A = this chain, B = another copy of it.
């Protein structure tokens, strides 16, 4: 029997709020067995870019990453957010290690083609180095992975954090029984965006197609669900979408 691995992805609104982040990290620390955290931080990057006089430009919810913005996201994701989260986890007795995709060549990406939209230094995942990740996890380390990757030729690339989480979960599904949890600001996928308690308990692929057509899900939730279904297709046991406060409970939306 394969051992279990819990992969948790935490988004920007949680990362930037000290109290919610602490709740999330406490819930994460309480998870037994092997675990791995993927951290976003887009809002912090936007704030620091703004302090540096750099404007954030988004297309379809994805950041345009020119050279100046790549410097900012590398500083914020791989430096500020990652290392603060690691220090907090260490204080909770978790042997965390902050990593980006260039470290140990963990996540190799290819720069996205400039057509139809030139996103700049944005990478699409080409491969995950499960061997090195497994060495760390089996030695008792808890990887904290940030969404900076590389192309293997010396170029760092910015990669969507949900995609990183889904790619890691998919690649590690051959080695572990993987549960992937996306923590964001809502309790789950809502049937009524104005009602916090209208969490849809389960979504199957047919439901997703229908909800996309009738507009129940839109904007940032669509790529999140795409990533969730990709992980299920790749052999991930269970994908849950919930909020920081509900981590480790049975609430939230399960993707089937």
Q: Is the CB of A100 within 8 A of B83?
A: yes
Q: Is the CB of A139 within 8 A of B135?
A: yes
Confirm or deny: A117 has a beta carbon within 8 angstroms of a beta carbon on chain B.
no
Partner of A79, one of B52, B80, B141: B80
In the complex, chain B residues whose CB is within 8 Å of the CB of A99: 97-98
Chain A at the B interface: mostly helix, strand, loop or mixed? helix
In the complex, chain B residues whose CB is within 8 Å of the CB of A90: 102, 105, 150, 152, 154
Docked complex: A46-89 residues within 8 A CB-CB of B? 48, 51-53, 71, 74-80, 82-84, 86-88
Docked complex: A92-110 residues within 8 A CB-CB of B? 95-100, 102-105
Q: Is the CB of B91 within 8 A of A153?
A: yes
Chain A interfacial residues counted at CB < 8 A: 40
Task: From A103, A148, A156, name the one whose CB has the most chain B CB atoms within 10 angstroms.
Answer: A103
Q: Is the CB of A80 within 8 A of B74?
A: yes
Confirm or deny: A218 has a beta carbon within 8 angstroms of a beta carbon on chain B.
no
Closest CB of chain B to A47's CB: distance in Å? 11
Q: Is the CB of B74 within 8 A of A86?
A: no
In the complex, chain B residues whose CB is within 8 Å of the CB of A82: 78-79
Q: Is the CB of B100 within 8 A of A104?
A: no
Identify 15 new A-B residue pairs, CB closer than 8 A, beyond the known A86-B100, A87-B155, A91-B154: A51-B53, A74-B84, A75-B80, A78-B82, A79-B79, A83-B100, A84-B156, A86-B150, A87-B156, A88-B154, A97-B99, A98-B99, A98-B103, A104-B141, A135-B139
